[in-house]
Amino acid sequence: MEDKMDFELSGGSPDKSEVFSDKLIWLLKGFVYPLWNRPYYKEAASRGMGIALVFLLLFALLQTIVTATTVATSLSGFGGEIQEAYSSGEIPDIRIANGVASTSGSGKYLIENNRQLVGIDTTGSTSEIDTSQYSEGVLLTRTDLHLVNEDGYQVFPLTELNQTFGDPIVLDAASVTRLWSRIAVFINLSVFFGGYLFYSVGRFIYLVLLGLIVWAAASLSKKGVDFAPVLITGIFANVPTTYLMFILRKVGFNFFGLRALILFAIWGIAIAFVLKMREGESALDASVNDII
């Protein structure tokens, strides 16, 4: 009797923490196993849609972190370039007080690029933008801000800028760097949340639409195919597709529809294996039932 009780105690249901850790380990395998392990697709299809959606959210988080980190690194480097430009005198310090602009250095800085102009001239030698030479441009003179774009030629008195943004307006290395830091934070947050929405909800809708095509093709060769295992297989086929697209973009090879072509190929191979294994299991279960 005691031996039986000991057996029952040791053979009880697994601890919840063990169940959670097993599921977590299985999900983490999803970041690499779909690259080569076809049985993983079959196991994924048998686990159901819920855990597949959880994986989709985790994979979306990984993609978002990579994208946001890349953008943040680029923005940080640009902030350093701003400081270097001010230190070298390439960009002057600007002060606008009582409607009058003053700058450090010579007071004249012009940057030309084809038919575009970005310039500062508080000396009076350049008082307006030559529209016969430039189709777009910004010019800061001693008393006005000149702007040329598709809306035409506009002139804003600096007194209006002081009334709107304060008096004085100081654009030096410290203030511009501080402003850029705030802009960079906004951009990083937008990239993170926008990216996560794209990689999760947007990618799910994308997979559902393509999944309908894969499901229709699979139904032609085998009747009674459920949509759920097809979509689940597609969610995990998205993993090697994403990695391969990342590599191809790095080497400069990309064209419209390439992701869909790669995804269809991997998805087709995986779902064919999943359906074949399921058909074999169904045949085995039927033979066992006949014997019983």
pLDDT digits (tens, 9 = 90+) for 202-244: 999 999 999 999 999 999 888 889 999 999 999 999 999 999 9
Q: Is the dihedral of CA 285, 286, 287, 292 positive or negative?
A: positive
- pLDDT digits 0-9 by tens, 44-78: 999 999 999 999 999 999 999 999 999 998 888 88
Q: Which residues pair with 112 in a beta bridge?
A: 117
This prediction has a pTM of 0.75
Contact 155, 144 (CB under 8 A): yes
Q: Which structure tokens are listed for 105?
A: 């250095």
Q: How is 164-199 classified by DSSP, letter by letter?
A: HH-SSEEESHHHHHHHHHHHHHHHHHHHHHHHHHII
Amino acid identity at 201: V
Q: How far apart are CA 261 and CA 265, in angstroms?
A: 6
Segment 261-268 long-range contacts (CB within 8 Å, at least 24 positions apart): 263/210, 263/234, 263/237, 263/238, 264/210, 264/213, 264/214, 266/237, 266/240, 266/241, 267/210, 267/214, 267/233, 267/234, 267/237, 268/214, 268/217
Rg (CA), the chain: 31
End-to-end alpha-carbon separation of the chain, Å? 34
The confidence score (pLDDT) of residue 284 equals 46
Q: Is pLDDT above 90 for 151?
A: no
Contacts of 104 by beta carbon, 8 Å cutoff, 6+ apart: 89, 92, 93
The confidence score (pLDDT) of residue 10 equals 46
Q: How far apart are CA 292 and CA 287, in angstroms?
A: 9
Domain limits, the chain: 18-70+187-283, 94-171
Q: Is pLDDT above 50 for 165?
A: yes
Phi, psi of 289 (to 5 degrees): -65, -35
- What percentage of residues in the chain have a pLDDT greater than 70? 89
Residue with tokens 């030629």: 153
The more confident residue out of 285 and 105 is 105
Mean pLDDT, to the nearest integer, of 101-124? Answer: 86
Q: Tell me the CB-side half-sphere exposure of residue 151, using CA atoms within 13 A.
A: 4
- Confidence band for 291, pLDDT divided at 50, 70 and 90: low
Please, what is the angle between helix 38-47 and helix 258-291, to 10°?
70
Contacts of 81 by beta carbon, 8 Å cutoff, 6+ apart: none
